[in-house]
Amino acid sequence: MRFLGNVLWIVLGGLFIAVEWATVGLLLCLTVVGIPLGLQAFKMAGLTLTPFGATVEYGGGLGSALANLVWVVLAGWWLALSYVLAGLANCVTVIGIPFGIQSFKMAKLALFPFGADVR
């Protein structure tokens, strides 16, 4: 079931958002200061391709909170907006509701990726 969910996820917008994550990662890696943020964006691009079957545990400390603050200002808000828009589009149909719910979960992760442990 996870495989089918991930394949449908990619078709229903996951690939587009993963490309957004990769683009943000490339742009952030152009600067030395942005490399840690860019590497996190690449991890999120991989997770965006296969979110079903993954669990997220939030934690972290002050460093994660500061990184999340910088992240929200630089790129997190519009990546989260992409997930919210995809979630709303998916929730239009009954079949798309599970994908919409997954999009809303990913929106939270897009806003605060630092300190989140994905398993």
Q: Over its length of 119 residues, how does the chain's per-residue pLDDT go in tens digits?
A: 789 989 988 887 889 889 988 998 999 999 888 898 888 889 888 888 888 888 888 888 888 889 889 889 888 898 899 889 989 998 998 988 998 998 998 999 899 988 888 78
pTM: 0.81
Please state, as a whole number, how many other Cβ atoms lie within 10 Å of the Cβ of residue 7: 13
Structure confidence at residue 43 (pLDDT): 85
Torsion angle of C-alpha atoms 47, 45, 17, 4, degrees rounded to 10: -30
What is the domain extent for residue 71? 2-118
Structure confidence at residue 61 (pLDDT): 85
Backbone Cα Rg of the chain = 14
Q: How many domains does the chain have?
A: 1
Tell whether the torsion through CA atoms of 31, 32, 38 and 39 is positive or negative: positive
For residue 81, which of 2, 7, 24 has the smallest C-alpha distance?
Answer: 24
Residue 61 to residue 73: CA distance in whole angstroms: 19
Report the run of H or E that residue 61 belongs to, with start and end.
Answer: none
Instruction: Please give the DSSP secondary-structure letter assigned to residue 50.
Output: S
Structure confidence at residue 17 (pLDDT): 87
